Amino acid sequence: MSVYLHDIPLPEAQTRLKKALQLANSWGVLSIEAIPLDENALGRVTAEPIWAKLSSPHYHASAMDGFAVRANSTNSALPSKPVSLQVGPEAEYVDTGDPLPVWANAVIPIENIESLDEAGDITKEIRKPAFIRIRASVPPWSHVRPLGEDIVATQLVLPAGHLLRPADLGAIAASGHLQIRVARKPRVAILPTGTELVPIGSNLKAGDILEYNSLVLAAQIKSMGGEPTRFPITKDDFDSICERVQEAAQTHDLVLLNAGSSAGAEDFSARVVEKLGTVLVHGVAVRPGHPVILGTVAHGPSSFVPVIGVPGYPVSAALTVDIFVEPLIAAWLGRRPNELPTVTATLTRKIVSPPGDDDFVRVAVGKVGDKILAAPLARGAGVITSLVQADGLALIPRGIQGIEAGENVQVRLYRSRSEIERTVFCIGSHDLTLDLMSQFLAEQDRRLTSANVGSQGGLIALRRGEAHLAGSHLLNPETGEYNISYIRQYMPGIPVKVIALVGRAQGLMVKRGNPKGIRGLEDLTNPHVQFVNRQRGAGTRVLLDYHLKRIGIAPEHIFGYSQEEYTHLGVAAAIASGRADCGLGIAAAAQALDLEFIPLFQERYDLVIPKHFAEGDLLAPVFGLLTDNRFREAVTHLPGYDVSVMGHTVLEDG
């Protein structure tokens, strides 16, 4: 049966690769090298146990500045009946770290003695008085670091397979070593392929794709303890790719062939591996990343080098390295594979998964009240920002078609629990001021994580206890007021504090030069105008529907009314890319993508906060920003924003 694009379960794919390497005696430490004991040893992995050559300390050392004495000579000392000892035969001054005289077995700290001269009078001489007077006895070995207190010669200092930390280097040095024997770093070749790829910094034209996967993969390899080599881009040519793989295999322990792993006309990776060696797996039941190739290519007459065909989409590529390469590098270094801390979290919205695949879902994580929540991020395999924003990965095992909102999932955390507990979880309407707020809050030991689900979705999330606050700008068409009636509808009985954040202009975004001559909402009925809308429940969608109704335009008369985006920047991107001619949004989004902006309406954007969160310490820095001149000034630099309302209390229950 052909292995090409035949998805197999993840454990089976991992087992095939491991067995192939074990048969070739290539599973385990590749080789051992001796390196100097210096700061460059940090992060290396010990290849052998490290045994102490010396004891530390290697003599009885004073732990204090004071006088070395025989402990039994102090036995009768009392506050009311002090004992005097003659300096020389009965007491000797020592500094911290000095060796004790061979006859001494205790040290009296300098602050616990009185210095006396020959006549028995108190003197200011500290180091060499004639006598010292003490008023308390000391037990044997008091204030002494005995030989071997820290390390005893021949004891195990560190085991094999240990990842060296700063303190470990000190312990190795203290035990008498000048060099350490460590596992050689695996050498990993990263080969980007694709005619459409151009180097970072190129002047882009339509069809060009910046090649940055190799940068990400190399950084991953380096963080895992490997030694990456980024090769130049190879165009989509079968023979050229074969030559590049052969070249890389001569000097590297692993070859990562990036892109071309699917089954398209210019997807050559599987054929290259088949020609040069053996294809073990082509297609793994994981999402994202299912067209992974696992194989081997010949390296000399009796050995081979493993090769992994890494999918071209950035998220798929990064996760492929985490799933397949990290355990391999761990085995080659002789350490355990990395294990991320895991927590149980509650999903904020439903996840639909392919039933036959292990589905790795990027999530933002926050602690709201006593619940840890996981908000799924964008699912696209090309959305690398979802990896930047992700606090962890939720694994939906194969055989499960999805998980409903409110159910629990296991999340592998990228961040520490303390970071999660300092995270302000915001779900609701998208606004660019939230990005600024996130930047300013980072200076005050807070993280702001926001998920864009629209104003209505944000209020529902607050009702479910799934967020600390929500951004909202829902207009009541009957009263002209913002948010209040919707809060009463979607959050009945929940005391809230509503704070005005900004006033902002809403209008139509169009391409530079306004080629379709759009001036207002009436022009949206032109059948040659392609509109892009916000999602149902978004405040901008509510605002649009309100004004369309006022002027008597039915939604079905607008071409593209049902085409939806979840953010203002998403609408702007659709217009800038030519997918649409116009859309309703904010001026700052138009400026960000060099569009023209036709102002139509003014609106107020509020923060809706349940009262018990508004009174807690977590959100105190958020309220502080509302009166922070630096933050207010930064917001005023965004076009179309008015900060005169910032910080005004619109509503406060209870």
Q: For CA atoms 576, 582, 583, 588, give the dihedral sign.
A: positive
CATH number of 345-417: 2.40.340.10
pLDDT band at 1 (very low <50, low <70, confident <90, very high): very low
Token couple for 329: 């590098």
pLDDT at position 382 is: 56
Q: Is the pLDDT of residue 495 over 60?
A: yes
pLDDT band at 654 (very low <50, low <70, confident <90, very high): low
pLDDT at position 651 is: 94
What integer is the mean pLDDT of 455-480?
Answer: 91
Q: What is the pLDDT of residues 600-627, one digit of tens each?
A: 999 999 999 999 999 999 999 999 999 9
pLDDT at position 261 is: 63
pLDDT band at 3 (very low <50, low <70, confident <90, very high): low
Q: Is the pLDDT of residue 289 over 60?
A: yes
Q: What is the pLDDT of residues 225-240, one digit of tens each?
A: 999 999 999 999 999 9
pTM: 0.81
> CA-to-CA distance for 174 and 569, rounded, in angstroms?
58
The CATH architecture to which 32-57+149-183 belongs is Alpha-Beta Complex (3.90)
Cβ distance 374 to 363 under 8 Å?
yes
> CA-to-CA distance for 280 and 301, rounded, in angstroms?
19
Q: What is the pLDDT of residues 22-55, one digit of tens each?
A: 988 889 999 999 999 999 999 999 999 999 999 9
CA-angle at 103, arms to 101 and 109, nearest 5°: 60
- Counting residues of the chain whose pLDDT is more than 70, the rounded percentage is 97
pLDDT band at 259 (very low <50, low <70, confident <90, very high): confident
Q: Is the pLDDT of residue 506 over 90?
A: yes
Q: What is the pLDDT of residues 527-581, one digit of tens each?
A: 999 999 999 888 899 999 999 999 999 999 999 999 999 888 899 999 999 999 9
Sequential DSSP letters for 23-72: HTT-SS---EEEEESSGGGTT-BBSS-EE-SS-BSSS-EESSSEEEE-GG
pLDDT band at 487 (very low <50, low <70, confident <90, very high): very high
CATH number of 61-145: 2.170.190.11
pLDDT at position 39 is: 96
Q: For CA atoms 200, 201, 202, 206, give the dihedral sign.
A: positive
Pick the CATH number of 456-652 from 3.20.20.100, 3.50.50.60, 3.40.190.10, 1.10.10.10: 3.40.190.10
> CA-to-CA distance for 620 and 618, rounded, in angstroms?
6
Residue 472 three-state SS:
strand
> CA-to-CA distance for 549 and 555, rounded, in angstroms?
9
Q: Is the pLDDT of residue 4 over 90?
A: no
Judge if 61-145 and 456-652 fold alike in CATH terms: no
Q: What is the pLDDT of residues 147-160, one digit of tens each?
A: 999 999 999 999 99
pLDDT band at 5 (very low <50, low <70, confident <90, very high): low
10-27+185-333 topology per CATH: Molybdenum Cofactor Biosythetic Enzyme; Chain A (3.40.980)
pLDDT at position 590 is: 94
Q: What is the pLDDT of residues 353-401, one digit of tens each?
A: 877 888 888 898 989 988 899 988 877 655 667 777 889 999 888 888 8
CA-angle at 635, arms to 634 and 641, nearest 5°: 150
CA distances from 226 to 10, 114, 315, 516, 532 (A): 23, 61, 20, 55, 46
Tell me the domain boundaries of the chain: 10-27+185-333, 32-57+149-183, 61-145, 345-417, 456-652
pLDDT at position 247 is: 95
Q: Is the pLDDT of residue 263 over 60?
A: no
